Structure 1
Amino acid sequence: MRAGRKARRVAGRAHNSRALTLIARIGFAASGLMHLLMGYIAIRIAFHHGGESDQSGAFAQLTKLPGGIIVLWATVAGLTALGLWLLLQASLGIGSSSKKRWVRSLVSLCKGACYLALAITALSFALRRPSNSATATRHATATLLSLAGGQALLIVVGLATAGIGGYLIYKGARQKFREDIMLPSGPSQRAITALAMTGYVAKGIAILTLGILFVVAAVKVDPQDASGLDGALKALAALPFGEAILVMVGTGLMAYGLYSFARARLATL
C-alpha cells in the first residue's frame, strides 16, 4: 500500500511537470499538423490525385516540405510526450473507487498507446525507414485470422473500433470536447466549437468506416479488406456520391487539425 502511494506521488509529480506538459502541448500541435495533411490528401484522393490518406501518408507528405525532417523530429518528441502524459494520467486513476475515473483511465490508456504508436510511425520516417500503415494493418489482420478464434476476435476488434468512431461522432455532436479545453469567450469560442464539432464528427465517420471494414474482413476471412484508415477513406470514395463525402470528411479532418492547434494552447492538462 505504502509503495503504491509512493508510486502515485511520483507519477503525479511527473504528470504535473512543466517540461512534460509543454511537450505534450507540442504533441497536440503535431497531431493537428498530421490531421491537416491527412485531410488534404483525402481531398486529393477525392479528385483522383492519389496518395495515402492515413498517418503514413501524412508523414510522407511532411518529409517533402522545406524543413520537414526537423518538424518530423519535433512531431516524434511531441507525440511521445503526449502518449507518456496520457499513460501517466491513466496510472493516476488506478485504485480509485470511482467508476467514472476507471473509465477515464481506460480511455487515457488507449489514447496514450495510440499516440506512442503514431510516434513510432513518425520515427520511422524521420530515420528514413518509412513504414506503411495499411500494409501493417493487413499483416496484423492476417495474423489474427490465422489464430484459433481469430475471426470472432477480429469482429470484436471491428465492433470496438466502430464504437470508438460512434463515440467521436457523439462527442462532437454533443460538444463533450468542452471537458478537454478551456474555451475563450466571444467569436473565438464559436470558431473553435465549430471546428471541434466538424472535426470530431468527420474523424468519427472515418474510424466507424474502419471498424466496418474490420468486420467485413473477418466475415470474408480476407485481410485485404482491412487496409487501415487509408482503406476506410477510400471505401467512402467508392460509395454513391462518395467523392463529395470524402471531400467533406477530408475538410472535417482538416478542421480537427485546426482544433488540435487550439487545443495545444488551451487544453486542460
Structure 2
Amino acid sequence: MKTDEFGRGARRAARSEGFERGARFGHVVSGVLHLLIGMLAIAVAFGSTENIDQSGALATLAERPGGRIALWVLAVGFVAMALWRVVEALWGGQSAHARSNSPLDRVKALGIAAVYIGLSYSTIGFAVGAGRSSGEQNSALSARLMQSLPGKALLIVAAVVLLSVGAYHVYKGVTRGFLDDLRAYERTGARRWIEPLAVVGYVAKGLTIVGVGALVVIATVRSNPEQATGLDGALKTLGAQPFGAILLICAGTGVALYGLYCFVMARYAKM
C-alpha cells in the first residue's frame, strides 16, 4: 500500500509544472556544457593544452570568477534532468506531449538518467574543489580492466555501445529523427534554422562519440590504456591528423552547435 501511495505521489509530482521546468533547465545546462567543450576544442586547435571533455569544461568554469556558484547551478540542472528521466523510465512520459512508453523508450530514459547522474557527480566534485580529469579516470579504469580477459570483454562491450550510440546520433541527425522529440513549432517561423542546427549538431556529436568508441577498441586490442582517455583523447587524436587544426575547429563548432540545439530542446522538447 505504501509503495502504491509513493508511486502515485511521484507521478503527481512528475506532472507538476515546476518539475517539468526543472527538467527543461537540465537541457539548458547541458547546452552550456556542450558550448564549453566546443570552445575548448577550438582553443586546442589554436595551441591550448586544456582537456577537451566535461572535466576540462568544468575545470575551466571553476577557475572563473563566480565559477563555483555557476557549477552548483549546473549541478541542480543535471539532477533535475536525471530525476525526470528516472520518472520517465519507471512510469513513462507524464505530459500530453510525452513520447511513447515502449520498453525501449524506458531503457533509453534510464541510460540518459545514468549519464546525468554522472554529470551531477562530476560537477559537484569540481564545485567543492575535488574534481578529477575524466581522461585520467578513464585511463585508470581501462588499465584495471585490461588486466583480465573478462575486463577486456567488458571494454569491448562498452566500445560497441559507444559506437552504436554515436551511429544513432548521426542517423538521427541525417534523417531528422529529432523532429519526433519536439512539439510543433512551425508557427514560430523557427524551423528554417532549428533543423540545420540540429542536423549539424547531432552528426558532429555522433562522430565524436564514434571516435571515443574506436579509441577504446584500439586501446583494448593493443593493451594500451593510455589511449582510452575518452572524448579528450578522441578529439586530440583528430587534431594530430593532417589538417588536424581545421578538423578540430569543425568538430568543436559542431559540438557547440549541438549545445545551441539543447537550448531549443529546453523550449520545444516533448516532456
TM-score normalised over the length of structure 1: 0.91
> In the TM superposition, what whole-angstrom CA distance separates every residue of 1:112-160 from its partner, at most 9, and x where no partner exists?
1001101111101111112111111112212222244221221111111
CA apart distance, 1:103: 0.7
* Distance across 1 between alignment mates of 2:184 and 2:64: 32
TM-score normalised over the length of structure 2: 0.91
* 1:126-137 superposed matches below 5 A: 126-137=127-138
* Distance across 2 between alignment mates of 1:218 and 1:212: 10
* Distance across 1 between alignment mates of 2:65 and 2:239: 31
* Distance across 2 between alignment mates of 1:217 and 1:232: 12
CA apart distance, 1:183: 4.7
* 1:1-269 superposed matches below 5 A: 8-93=7-92, 101-185=102-186, 187-269=189-271
* Distance across 2 between alignment mates of 1:127 and 1:20: 26
* Distance across 2 between alignment mates of 1:3 and 1:214: 45
* Distance across 1 between alignment mates of 2:192 and 2:129: 41
Alpha-carbon RMSD: 2.0
Identity across the alignment (%) = 38
Contact 1:11 1:91 in 2 (8 A): no
SS at match of 1:88: helix
CA apart distance, 1:6: 5.2
Contact 1:23 1:81 in 2 (8 A): yes
Structure 1 residues 29 and 104, CA gap change in structure 2 (3 angstroms): same
Structure 2 residue runs of 5 or longer lacking an equivalent are 94-99
* Distance across 1 between alignment mates of 2:13 and 2:238: 42
Contact 1:183 1:189 in 2 (8 A): no
* Distance across 2 between alignment mates of 1:72 and 1:44: 21
CA apart distance, 1:7: 5.5
* Distance across 1 between alignment mates of 2:184 and 2:248: 29
Structure 1 residue runs of 5 or longer lacking an equivalent are none
> In the TM superposition, what whole-angstrom CA distance separates every residue of 1:63-82 from its partner, at most 9, and x where no partner exists?
23343222211100000110
CA apart distance, 1:15: 2.1
Letter paired with 1:103: L
Q: Which moved more, 1:177-186 or 1:55-64?
A: 177-186
Letter paired with 2:241: L
* Distance across 1 between alignment mates of 2:92 and 2:185: 28
* Distance across 1 between alignment mates of 2:246 and 2:66: 33
Paired residue total: 264
